[in-house]
Structure 1
Amino acid sequence: MMQSLVHAAGRPGEPAADVADLAELLRTLLGVTAREDTRVRLGGNLFDVVVTSSGGQARAAAALMDEVQGGCGPVVEDTRDGLFYWLVPPGTTGRWEPHTHAVCLGAPFKITLPSLNRTTPPSTPGPYWFRPSASDRLVPAAPLREALAQCRPEPTPHAAFADRLGMTP
């Protein structure tokens, strides 16, 4: 067993693969706290995202989640694309059933997280925290799914993602 651990750690002077991932994660999180927008890989141990439009129905879903959670977990609005990115627990993508008003994404996709102090819409289109990130709380997938089914945010994000990925809806 010890030999396999030594082998997994890599050659002397080279960081182990998981340490490189940890270093990337720390750089990313430091960027967000240092008032910089930062690109983050989805999946892994951080979070996946559920994507919806950011119109009135999505805001109503956020109000429902405020009630369910005692304050909704983190949601990023990108005013450039008119989308909400609901940060949900990692692994949600693997369990997410198709939804008529939302898409769930994990690895290998990335998202731009705004700096933690950007909690109002920016003067130029871009991301901001519609519901700021609070400690380690994420948006629970099952109640979010119910809120989205009830509020039905339009337009649905499916066609936009299909166009970006070169697929047909």
Structure 2
Amino acid sequence: MSATAAVLPTGTEIMQHLVQSAGAAREPAADMADLAEVIRTLMAVEARRDTRVRLGGNLFDVVITGSCPEAYAAVALMDKIQGGCGPVIEDPESGWLYWLVPPGSASQWAPHSHAVCLSAPHTITLPTLHRTMPPGPYWHRPSASDRLVPTGPLREALAQLRPEPTPHAALAARLGITS
């Protein structure tokens, strides 16, 4: 071995470095609180309890539209595009559909005349997975673990079909936004 050759660390030295770089043993990882919240939320929904969740993060954002024949036509169109539309919640009391879209969508959503996209700090109540009829909010299209509604095709469908009434004024009033 030449004098200039590097000396490789031993297995013990590598383990010591990994332990030291991991931080305090009792200090949870920064994202563990979020993960615990997600798990509690999913367990509550699975246990047939409605549960309130924060939008954004790693879960989903939400696009809100009116609940009307044109919106149902958009669901049917998304069924064709996706081979089964991603999750959509209907709230008969408010007259809205909530389309669950990929997280981060709200930051990329340009103003739309027939829909609003929201993320954190807003929340949404997810109905139990088994509620597919009123009373109260229910799954118009049940949540499938493998998909959300893609925003590009949804945006185009909503622009074409124009569901009414639009949620803009009602959301602004609910959120206390004045012009």
Report the TM-score when normalising by structure 2. 0.85
Q: Which residue of 2 aligns with 1:153?
A: 163
- Greater CA radius of gyration, 1 or 2? 2
> Is residue 2:87 matched to residue 1:77?
no
Q: Quick one: percent identity of the two aligned structures?
A: 70
Aligned-residue offset at 1:17:
3.2
How far residue 65 of structure 1 moved from its aligned partner, in angstroms, is 0.6
1:109, CA displacement in angstroms? 0.5
Answering whether residue 112 of structure 2 is matched by residue 102 of structure 1, we say no
| Structure 2 residue matching 1:90: 3-state secondary structure | coil
**Structure 1 spans left out of the alignment, 5+ residues:** none
Amino acid of the structure 2 residue aligned with 1:51: I
CA-atom RMSD in angstroms: 1.5
Count of residue pairs brought into register by the alignment: 162
Q: Displacement of 1:168 after TM fit?
A: 2.5
**Cα offsets for 1:21-55 (capped at 9, x unmatched):** 11111000000111000001100111000000111
1:138 matched to 2:142: no
Find the counterpart in structure 1 of residue 80 from structure 2. 67
Q: CA deviation at 1:166?
A: 1.1
> 124, 138, 160: which one pairs with 1:128?
138
Which residue pairs with 2:12 in the alignment?
none
Partner of 2:174: 164
* Secondary structure of the corresponding residue to residue 52 of structure 1: strand
**Which of these residues, 46, 62, 76, is aligned with residue 33 of structure 1?**
46
Matched residue type, 1:151? L
Task: State the SS of the aligned residue for 2:84.
Answer: coil
Taking the aligned partners of 1:47 and 1:136, their CA distance within structure 2 comes to: 13
Unaligned segments of structure 2, at least 5 residues: 1-16
* Letter in structure 1 aligned against 2:112: H
